[in-house]
Amino acid sequence: MAKKTIKQKSIKVPVKGQKIAIPKGLILEDGDTVIITIEDDGDDPRDTGEGMPYGEEIDTLLEKRLVSVGINDYRDNQISDLTGCVPDATNFSRKLNSDFGFSFDRDHFRFLTDDAATKANIISQLSWLVAETGPHDVGVFYYSGHGSQVPDQNPPNDDESDRLDEVIVPHDTNTRASNPISTVIRDDEIAAILANINPEAHFVVVFDSCNSGTGTRQVPLQPDDGRARVAEVSKHATNLKGLFANAANSGLRGAHAFSGPNHLLLAAAHSSQLSWEFGGQGAFTSSLIQNLRPGRTYKEVMDAVAPAVDRRVMRAKSVHQTPQLEGSPQNNPLFAIVI
């Protein structure tokens, strides 16, 4: 990892070994090194004998981690395969590695594609990411694959029939199971994991939930004896376009909206829209990668991505696809450690 000294941002420690409070507002980007000046008490053997302070350069212990998931191939032949999701996950991962200092070593990176992207593995790796992303670290979860919406599995007491859970569809989703919904990953399952994010971590979720050009219906996840319910669900929800995106305005339970300090969602589209892929790439991920540049903020990037994607999809399909940015802090530099 390249090192860079943060000039004029030294931190003074009164006594060697004492814990330090890092000033708020300090921004660390790829490979930054912090200079810590220890004011020696005269007892350290490295001291000059005159009790003068000495400087030490130490690598920052703050880290960046990425879990990247892309699913083209689905085990269940009732679920249409896709073409652009594995390339999307690959290209997004390479971008973060080349331009933002994310490592590909096992301690910092997990890559799940096709048959490795099972429900158990996705949940396990997301849980790992949340657990390992400590104070001031950066954690990024990227998903490209099918999504769907299903009847709310934990409905509120108001008994609204159109309340839905949003789900992501892992490789081993089984539409023929006695309870197909148990084979997908529901929004509240993900929310339960994300609830454990360290409040001082910087955590980003990116969803490009793709649909094939001809497959614009949701993945069928209802039992065979509920054909009318399948139609009803399809009427209310096409495919997952962005988990948690504008949940309060989409008929979904607002409790699962993904927002809060250091929690950001970059979603391929509004939850009422389709997410498209062209030429073996997701329209959203392709534009996102083109616009990810060190030093830019999330808001600057999404302000460029949203109209570009919408124009491209409108030209090709005569429908809107409007990428969404939810949560805060939207004006922070991309994938930067902020302390």
Give the residue among 288, 274, 285 at the shortest CA–CA distance from 316: 274
What per-residue confidence (pLDDT) applies to 226? 27
pLDDT of residue 181: 87
User: pTM to 2 decimals?
Assistant: 0.73
**215 and 83 share a domain?**
yes
- Taking residues 235-240, report their average pLDDT: 32
Same domain, residue pair 278 and 156: yes
Segment 202-210 shows an average pLDDT of 87
pLDDT, one tens digit per residue, over 208-221 is: 985 322 222 235 45
Rounded CA separation 120/130 (Å): 16
Least confident of 16-30, 137-151, 186-200: 16-30
What are residue 148's phi and psi, to 5 degrees? -160, 180
What is the DSSP track for 108-169? TEEEEEGGG--HHHHHHHHHHHHHH--TT-EEEEEEEE-EEEEE-SS--TT--TT-EEEEE-
Residues 47 and 84 in one domain: no
| Mean pLDDT, rounded, for 306-327 | 93
Residue 285 has pLDDT above 90, yes or no: yes
Domain hosting 189: range is 72-338
What is the per-residue pLDDT across 5-38, written as a single tens digit (0 to 9) for each?
A: 333 334 444 444 444 445 555 666 555 555 544 4
Highest mean pLDDT (candidates 55-59, 135-139, 272-276): 135-139
**How many domains in the chain?**
2
- The answer to whether 241 and 273 have CB atoms below 8 angstroms apart is yes
Whether 91 is in a domain gets the answer yes
Q: Decide if pLDDT at 304 tops 90.
A: yes
Query: Do 47 and 139 lie in a common domain?
Result: no
pLDDT at 168: 87
Residues 121 and 44 in one domain: no
Separation of alpha carbons 239 and 217, rounded Å: 7
150 plus 204 within the same structural domain: yes
Residue 65 belongs to a domain: no
Q: Please state the rounded mean pLDDT for residues 296-318.
A: 96
